[in-house]
Amino acid sequence: MHALMERLYPICRSLTGNGVRQTLAILREYLPALRVHEVPSGTPALDWTVPAEWNIRDAWVKNAAGERVIDFRQHNLHILQYSTPVHGWFSRQELEDHLFSLPEQPHLIPYRTSYYQPNWGFCLSHQQRQQLQDEYYEVCIDSTLDEHGTLTYGELVLAGTSEEEVLLSCHCCHPSLANDNLSGLVVATFLARELARTPRRYTYRFVFVPGTIGSIVWLSRHQDTVGLIRHGLVLTLLGGAGHFTYKQSRRATAEVDRAMALVLRDAQVPHALRPWLPYGYDERQYCSPGFNLPVGCFSRTPFGEFAEYHTSADNLDFVAPEQLAESLSVLEALCLTLESNRTYRNLQPYGEPQLGRRGLYKGVGGGQEGADWQLALLWVLNLSDGQHSLLAIAEQAALPVPLLHRAAVALEGVGLLHAS
């Protein structure tokens, strides 16, 4: 995953443009079935309109000696995203209105955008900004805004035995920021590869979309089918330091909310569960009241809560391979939990059935050997009344869903349970 991130990191991505296409082309090497969609600029999408396509070839500020004192080629964060084209000489004071830096983090380049308000500008370290002492500077931004362009997004569907879907969404619009959100892209890619190799009950839909406008466009094109989504996650910030954080869906008690809480509990890793908030990433769109889909947001340290957020310090060194692997492991466990969850009915509910003669109970009583297994069998038998799912049993019994699922399969195999 980290090696894939290294390939993607230098690319200048934005809401639209060739950077997104290049990124999705690389992901297709890992996911050949990934479909790339192009939506024309000017297309209505719910209350929004697809913007003009933005591309940039070069950008710089030169001093009187002709030296590049700000250079897009050195770091693509140097450009204000969606900057309009410009070329000319500007006084130091005129240039000042188009510069963005962080006085409190003087060695870092900030990430700034102006997607929907025409503007141009440069981002630079505050230390670099203070060194600009010439009276005049030559400025060039070689960019284009094409009203006849398109917005690009990727979509991968892994069909299951059911048409019911699990939606996994991540944004593909950020330039050279490793944790936000290359980590989401690479973890989603490798999760899709794992799921493609295993039998699936659910159909899994992965969408790689530019933030906000991308999910709005996707929803506008799938209004007739989003009712098939039973569970969903927005994946972001999965490679940095810090504990896991799960933000609940708008429903708060959706199955995915409960399943993620159990998975994090049973993984015995530091984590936090946070309530729904109509601010954040694309879960805002999926959980907007008209759709109200069961989509939460899974991350490590949330956005804005680590010093490297939206700066040049969010680089490849900030993301550790071990942290990516741990994030992937939790997501694999979540998918297994969702796949395993069933509601059963006890076919012999009057008294406790004799498990020993069915080969499910230990032959010698009195000890604690296999206590969790015996408890799992008894919990599943007792609560399999057609009303309690395995998730509900796991919540009450404080036992992991995979263990309860194994118990349910064993009990079903000897004719004591039936999946309702």
Going through 35-76 in order, the beta strands assigned E by DSSP cover 35-40, 44-45, 48-49, 53-62, 68-71
Query: How far, in Å, CA of 169 to CA of 180, rounded?
Result: 14
**Total residues belonging to the chain:** 420
**Helix and strand counts by DSSP (H, E) for the chain:** 12, 19
For residue 75, say whether it is annotated as part of any ligand binding site: no
What structural domains does the chain harbor? 2-51+150-340 (3.40.630.10), 53-146 (3.50.30.90), 343-419 (1.10.10.10)
For residue 98, say whether it is annotated as part of any ligand binding site: no
Q: What is the pTM of this model?
A: 0.95
Query: How far, in Å, CA of 125 to CA of 380, rounded?
Result: 59
- Are 255 and 229 in contact by the 8 Å Cβ rule? The answer is no
What the block records as the tokens of 106 is 């003087």
**pLDDT by residue for the chain (420 residues), tens digit each?**
999 999 999 999 999 999 999 999 999 999 999 999 999 999 999 999 999 999 999 999 999 999 999 999 999 999 999 999 999 999 999 999 999 999 999 999 999 999 999 999 999 999 999 999 999 999 999 999 999 999 999 999 999 999 999 999 999 999 999 999 999 999 999 999 999 999 999 999 999 999 999 999 999 999 999 999 999 999 999 999 999 999 999 999 999 999 999 999 999 999 999 999 999 999 999 999 999 999 999 999 999 999 999 999 999 999 999 999 999 999 999 999 999 999 999 999 999 999 999 999 764 343 334 789 999 999 999 999 999 999 999 999 999 999 999 999 999 999 999 998
For residue 310, say whether it is annotated as part of any ligand binding site: yes
Query: How far, in Å, CA of 193 to CA of 180, rounded?
Result: 21
- Are 262 and 233 in contact by the 8 Å Cβ rule? The answer is no
Cα torsion 189, 17, 77, 117: sign: negative
Find the farthest-apart pair of alpha carbons in the chain and give their distance in angstroms, rounded: 93
Q: What is the DSSP letter of 104?
A: T
- Are 118 and 157 in contact by the 8 Å Cβ rule? The answer is no
* Residue 285 DSSP SS3: helix
pLDDT at residue number 363: 47
- Are 374 and 411 in contact by the 8 Å Cβ rule? The answer is no
pLDDT at residue number 361: 78
117: region left, alpha or beta (phi > 0 left; psi from -120 to 50 alpha): beta
400: region left, alpha or beta (phi > 0 left; psi from -120 to 50 alpha): beta
pLDDT at residue number 141: 98
